[in-house]
């Protein structure tokens, strides 16, 4: 009997590199692999980073980012694309251009703009350029500070549903609003998903895990959702499975130790 060849379910991550391995490209590769797909990458920047913080950032030249994009996109068929931090208008422009040329689908964008402490990670110009990219993707996954920046309003547990709809309609895309930054006295974590094609809002609750090992959760969540989309799941199903995967990976890494600061989730410990 002749062997039957089957293609990999592949996901492309376009993001920065974290030398500590907790976030960025490294977290994406782990999440994509753990959830059952093949990971390819386009690196937009490298960082000197560990569990305690970032000490240096090196931007990859635009011409090299373009060559990376053309190299993988001209050769590999991707079932989904995950986009992480795009640090300048020039990077955003070339990524947007290539997304259109190759008519890519299932694009999940983690709009990395603000740190947990509320400091902006990219310039105001880059933020405005990023906003123009949002209508061209399938899903965005902002945390509370990033969502507030997108609509210039404060968000709390009472207005999350209103906010997620507003973001979705303003930027013409589906939205997963992550509730991890809310200081709510509850045993549950609440995320809110707005599916723009139907107008449906879904509340997603998972057990709250008390731990400092949450470095890279946003990267891991967006890349796991992209993976489930590449495996043929609907957007609703991919969202629920991605949130469940990350929640379990956080729990699995609760008692692990890496470095002197905030450690990663345990991608393969679920």
Q: Give catalytic residues, as residue numbers.
A: 178, 214, 216-219
Q: Are strands 38-50 and 139-140 parallel, antiparallel or unpaired?
A: unpaired
SS3 content of the chain, % helix, strand, coil (to 5): 35, 25, 40
The alpha carbon of 226 is separated from its chain's Cα centroid by a whole number of angstroms, namely: 9
Cα 86 from Cα 15, distance rounded (Å): 7
Q: Which of 192, 206, 219 is nearest to 251 (CA)?
A: 206
Token pair in block for residue 89 = 């208008």
Instruction: Please identify which residue in the block is written with the tokens 């967006």.
Output: 222
* Total H helices, total E strands in the chain: 8, 9
Return phi, psi of residue 10, to 5°. Answer: -115, 145
CB 224 within 8 A of CB 106: no
Alpha helices in 74-123 (DSSP H): 89-101
Bridge partners (DSSP) of residue 50 are 53
Q: Which two tokens stand for residue 59?
A: 């931007």
How many CB atoms sit inside 10 A of residue 260's CB?
A: 9
Spatial contact of 67 and 98, defined as CB atoms under 8 Å apart: no
Rounded-to-integer distance, Cα 48 and Cα 37, Å: 28
């Amino acid at each position: 009997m002749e062997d039957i060849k089957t293609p990999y379910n592949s996901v492309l991550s376009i993001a920065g590199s974290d030398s500590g391995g907790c976030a960025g490209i490294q977290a994406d590769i782990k999440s994509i692999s753990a959830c059952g797909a093949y990971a390819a990458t386009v690196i937009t920047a490298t960082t000197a980073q560990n569990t305690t913080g970032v000490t240096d950032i090196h931007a990859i030249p635009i011409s090299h980012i373009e060559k990376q994009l053309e190299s993988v996109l001209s050769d590999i068929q991707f079932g989904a694309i995950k986009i992480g931090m795009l640090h300048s208008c020039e990077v955003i422009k070339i990524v947007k251009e290539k997304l259109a040329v190759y008519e890519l689908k299932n694009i999940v964008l983690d709009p990395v703009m603000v740190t947990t402490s509320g400091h902006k990670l990219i310039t105001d110009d880059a933020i405005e350029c990023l906003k123009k990219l949002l209508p061209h993707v399938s899903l965005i996954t902002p945390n509370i500070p990033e969502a507030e920046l997108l609509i210039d309003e404060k968000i709390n547990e009472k207005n999350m549903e209103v906010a997620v709809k507003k973001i979705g309609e303003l930027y013409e895309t589906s939205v997963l609003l992550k509730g991890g930054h809310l200081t709510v006295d509850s045993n549950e974590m609440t995320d809110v998903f707005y599916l723009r094609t139907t107008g449906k809002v879904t509340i997603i609750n998972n057990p709250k895990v008390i731990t400092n090992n949450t470095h890279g959760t946003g990267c891991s969540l967006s890349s796991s959702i992209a993976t489930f989309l590449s495996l043929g799941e609907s957007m609703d199903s991919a969202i629920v499975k991605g949130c469940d995967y990350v929640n379990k990976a956080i729990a699995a890494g609760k008692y692990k130790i890496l470095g002197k600061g905030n450690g990663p989730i345990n991608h393969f410990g679920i």
